[in-house]
Amino acid sequence: MSNIYPNGKPKDCRYCYWYSSTGCHQKVCYYERPKPEKPKTKCTDCPYGKHSPCIGWCTKDILRSIGREV
């Protein structure tokens, strides 16, 4: 579920979406949960893919083949 508040966690739990008169409905606060890590792929450390979309051939493999480790 995406963050429904544009500025993040509400100032008080009473203003949270999951809070009701009986208390919070979450076992762990939605805003204090660790963010899931993106799975590492072959392209994670690609020098080209950081700033632009993939161009269809692997820059990382080419740099490695000419001896420039990424």
For residues 15 and 45, state if they share a domain: no
Q: How many C-beta atoms surround the C-beta of residue 30 within 10 A?
A: 16
For residues 41 and 30, state if they share a domain: no
For residues 42 and 68, state if they share a domain: yes
Question: In total, how many domains does the chain have?
Answer: 2
Alpha-carbon span 65 to 62, nearest angstrom: 5
Q: Which of 37, 67, 38, 61 is nearest to 48 (CA)?
A: 61
Q: By residue range, what is the domain housing residue 17? A: 1-35
* pLDDT tens, residue by residue, 4-48: 555 678 888 888 888 888 888 888 888 877 777 878 777 777 766
Confidence band of 53 (pLDDT split at 50, 70, 90): low
For residues 25 and 46, state if they share a domain: no
For residues 6 and 25, state if they share a domain: yes
Q: Is the pTM of this model over 0.85?
A: no
